[in-house]
Amino acid sequence: MIGELMRLRGTVLALLLCLPFVFLFTRLAPPELQPECLSRVTIAHWAHFVHVCDTYGYTGMMRDLPRYFTEPNQLGARPVYVVGGEAVAAMFRPAALLIRSFLIDGRIGGDVAVDLFLARFPEYFALMIVNFAVLGATIWMAMRLIEPSQRALAAALGATVATCDLVHGLFWTQHSNFLNVVVPLGCITYFVAGCRARQMTQTSIAAMGLAAGVGILAYGYIVIWLPMFVFGSLYRDLRLGAMPAEMLQGLLRTLVPLAIAGCGPLLAWWVSGKLYLHGMVNYEAERLRQFVWVVDAWRDGRLGAALAEH
């Protein structure tokens, strides 16, 4: 019975992943938030896409990994996304070239840099595969939150994810911003897993931390999965009325493997960047002050005002 339910969920997941193809046929008004950065791509007069100017940088770094590793750049904090994307591009390059030859060449229009788009099409194609994988993981997380016997509810939740505005707006762009779709579902998944931390082995907890740690190197906001796991563990203890000593023991049992495995990849990347690569920079933290604005506000004596602003 369980095997049958799992096979059914797999079929539903496959069908839900087909839903974004509906967006190919949606003629949207030109984006107005950043007209200098967002442009239109049209394939064969019926498939319409939005192209983000940042994608030129992503695909350029993917094609020139030595420069990515040795020069400061805005993508320095996302090696898993850049290097992983190029690995996918190398794997599927023959298929991408075949698709470009039969479906793209001579049929592309819009105000995108066509020559650059065609030359880098294997990289564009690879980042679309990444988007499919991210969407699949997100739907899988959503469906796993539902009791297996509640098949209709699980399918409905998966369909909600597959057709939400975030997917509609970003799925066909080749940009790490699409990973925003997996962040909230990952938070819920990690919180629920944290509620079960006492039933998990430390190896399993470390695996959860490592998955988040690798994800952080693809998209920085995934870092909030780690505290959500801890909050889930604390919530479970509070709900069951655990004694303070028992809560502390459980917290230490959770924090040690989670922190080591979760922070390990990020620390290793930063250390290697500072010692060997001589050029890596965490653009979001150093230039945009992501996650460190609280420290800045504390130093400037305006913590209360900054908290209110944020």
Higher per-residue confidence, 38 vs 232: 232
Condensed to tens digits (0 to 9), the pLDDT of residues 241-299 reads 888 888 888 888 899 999 999 999 988 988 887 777 665 566 667 777 777 888 888 88
| Residues of the chain by 3-state class (helix, strand, coil), percent to 5 | 70, 5, 25
What pLDDT is attached to residue 292? 80
pTM for this model (two decimals): 0.86
| Full DSSP string of 93-131 | HHHHHHHIIIIITTTEEESS-HHHHHHTHHHHHHHHHHH
Give the pLDDT band of residue 29 (cuts 50, 70, 90): low
Among residues 219, 221, 222, 218, the alpha carbon closest in space to that of 208 is found at: 222
pLDDT tens per residue, range 38-73: 888 888 888 888 899 999 999 999 999 998 888 778
The predicted structure's pLDDT at residue 72: 77
pLDDT of residue 94: 95
Q: What is the CA radius of gyration of the chain?
A: 22
For 91-110, write each residue's pLDDT tens digit: 999 999 999 999 898 889 88
Q: What is the pLDDT of residues 143-193, one digit of tens each?
A: 888 887 788 888 888 899 998 888 988 899 999 999 999 999 999 999 999
32 pLDDT exceeds 70?
A: no
Mean residue pLDDT of the chain comes to 87
